[in-house]
Chains A and B, each alone.
Chain A
């Protein structure tokens, strides 16, 4: 039983109106369904009949003539297309068979001569061919022998190469094992060295701790005796100085710095400076300069100083009048001195 959809598809198929994808699907179904095939045949006859119901039109009379002439040209015939009817043959056709027979006889004679000639040529060609084949057979045997010799040589080379490869592989394996062993030994050695270094590091760390402790203790001891290293002195006026002039000085042997405070010194003319001197009993000869200074309008001054050399001890302070900028050793008058 064919359903309505199949009838519709069959109708569209017969009229050529199916879409491409529907067409493929329908043709698959058509191949497998006999009933559908019968329906398609009936519908196809009905569609053809549709055309037969149209008014019949006579084509132009010349069309058939053109068509037949076209066919003649295509078939390579020279003749009139109206030759569909019987036409009397021309007169020359009556002697044509005799002429053809005579031509045929001449042709036969010619062919016999040609045949003999060809037979001779064939025999010669066959002999040449046999000679060539024998030569080729010899060449082939020679080539085959050469080929076998080359194959044997290649086989020998191949065997030798395989042996070399096996030897190289063995060598490589031995080298690899040696390298592995050496590496293991080096690792053990390094591990031992590392352990020794760790012990040494621990020892040094402990020693360092002890040194730091000792240093701290030493600093504490130094700080406790701080004032023991500071020298303090009072400077009095010398006979060359105003009697009211006085000064006080202090010097720290640890830091190497000191301070001087003066009062009532006479102002100096231009080109002159007061210069402080420190006397270290460990340095015989000239005292060490503590620097130059001037005084204000009241004769006062405050000097912070740091001598250019390290002093182990200071047992005396003095102040002299020197030329501007100071001198290396006292040359002028001493105006203040400690006892």
Chain B
């Protein structure tokens, strides 16, 4: 008989269940399979009612984030071979309401993301005839790491402050704000500061560092937030010493 592996999946049906409960499945074990392959096997062959999000299967779209054995992970990026001989426990991402099974309600994340104005705000509109904005390799390197975020929300699931204070803007959104603040083509730092430098922004972060540990794209939101704390403090001091010169 060929080798198998057991999955315990948290199920929740909003129409019939009062609370979530685990359901066990046994799937074929294959060295090259990831947890998402196992879920697809369940959906296609064992239980078509299982709900979960996924799209690209290559750690690019950021849709398939789940809690796998107590660790926020992309299920397309988590191999069965790392759990061989054990049980794989799959749950929805922590700190988000459960819509159904492994599907979470992400509205709060989308609101937080848009609140930090994650787009270039140029100092002044230039006509096309003036040509492109030039940027040196060094200027690009200053923020390039933060452009890698795929909005998978693993950092929100890992951050205890997100769980303890639902208003906290959170790691990914603050990292993205930092990415645009660092961009030499951008002049929107003051416009973002209203949210970024508020109590629910960077100051809610206590540098647990879990966001950076779980990030599948090595974005390091914890670093972005600490750097923003320093620049926001410098802004505050400048404002205090020369009230009219800034903003």
A binds B: no
